[in-house]
Amino acid sequence: MKTPHPRQLVFLSMLLTFGLTGHAADSVTNACGQNPAYCAVLTGKEAAVPATKGAAEIASIAATLRLLPTDMKARVERELVECAERADFQVNIRRFAGDQPSREQCQEVLPGWDPCGKKVTRAMQLGTEKHQLALQCIQERFNRLFPGRFSLEQRYRYDKQTRSTKLISREEARVLRKQDCGEELKGTLVPDVVIHSGNPLEALAIYDFKFPCPSTNPPSWSEYPEGHPHYPENQGKMYEQALGAAAFRVAPRWRVR
């Protein structure tokens, strides 16, 4: 597991100080006047964490758990579940008059092809529509609750040999997607939601929306096929390897797993 970045340790200290005591997220900003290290995090600058017992304890938490403080994690996951269930309901209303699609409907192959010449099933179509609505919902809620501390569909490139991870901008991804149907993007990772320190490379928790079709199927991580750069791992394990934080699935009915 990766050694926590100094700025991440400071941010964890902020979360432990204000998150666990039930203060609002804005309380962190008030701490800036009391501790210059907090100001450095809020402004995106580097911060040195002194080698004190407190810093060591925070480092231990980050290294062994890599989870958000309990109350903050509960708030994040409550919002994620609500957005997933809302998106599921809205699309099912539009497509099936509020009913859940049957297994046969999920497996139906739709007419036509996707832009890269692949067939699309009803389950794939529904999953895409529900993802879009869920992400819109989270964008609105997290902008209010955790501004600057989350990323949606941020693309990462992870090098297994060097164990290094870098960001890929939306513009770079757009350009590469036009080349050979995005062959250059093969192997990149795009988690739906990353909660971070203010830097998307300093993840604290990772979440992916899953919309199983039919809904009685348990949500699962995508398995990489033989020949893929990440074979034989699955999606969740690669998120954790690349970003050094725990990854979770969020699905209607199943909640967080």
Q: What percent of the chain has pLDDT over 90?
A: 64
Whether residue 216 sits in one domain with residue 170: yes
Whether residue 166 sits in one domain with residue 43: no
Last residue of a domain, one of 64, 96, 114: 64
Copy the structure tokens of residue 1. 């597991």
Max CA pair span of the chain:
63
Whether residue 198 sits in one domain with residue 161: yes
Residue 200 counted as domain residue: yes
The predicted structure's pLDDT at residue 234: 97
**What average pLDDT score do residues 13-28 get?**
40
Whether residue 78 sits in one domain with residue 41: no
**Phi (first) and psi of residue 76, to 5 degrees:** -55, -50
Q: Residue 40: which domain range?
A: 6-64
Instruction: Report the alpha-carbon distance of residue 121 to residue 79 in Å, rounded.
Output: 29
Whether residue 154 sits in one domain with residue 58: no
Whether residue 110 sits in one domain with residue 194: yes
Whether residue 240 sits in one domain with residue 175: yes
Q: How confident is the model at residue 112 (pLDDT cuts 50, 70, 90)?
A: confident
> Helix 70-96 and helix 122-145: axis angle, to 10°?
140
Whether residue 128 sits in one domain with residue 81: yes
> Helix 6-14 and helix 36-43: axis angle, to 10°?
110
pLDDT of 52-70, one tens digit each?
A: 223 333 334 344 345 678 8
Whether residue 160 sits in one domain with residue 78: yes
Copy the structure tokens of residue 5. 């970045």
2-6, 111-115, 148-152, 231-235: which has the minimum mean pLDDT?
Answer: 2-6
255 CB-side CA count, 13 A: 4
Question: Nearest 5 degrees, angle CA 204-CA 228-CA 80?
Answer: 30
Last residue of a domain, one of 14, 33, 64: 64
Full-model pTM:
0.75
Whether residue 212 sits in one domain with residue 246: yes
Instruction: Report the alpha-carbon distance of residue 146 to residue 207 in Å, rounded.
Output: 15
Whether residue 212 sits in one domain with residue 178: yes
Q: Regarding beta strands 150-152 and 193-196, do their DSSP bridges make them parallel or antiparallel, or are they unpaired? A: antiparallel
The predicted structure's pLDDT at residue 66: 52
Q: How confident is the model at residue 118 (pLDDT cuts 50, 70, 90)?
A: confident
Residues 6+ positions from 18 with CB-CB distance below 8 Å? 24, 25, 27, 28, 31
Residue 1 counted as domain residue: no
Copy the structure tokens of residue 187. 């192997």
pLDDT of 175-213, one tens digit each?
A: 988 887 778 899 999 999 999 999 999 999 999 999 999
Instruction: Report the alpha-carbon distance of residue 257 to residue 250 in Å, rounded.
Output: 7
Whether residue 13 sits in one domain with residue 95: no
Q: Specify the higher pLDDT residue, 255 or 17.
A: 255
Number of domains in the chain: 2
Residue 41 counted as domain residue: yes
Last residue of a domain, one of 45, 64, 83: 64
Residue 157 counted as domain residue: yes
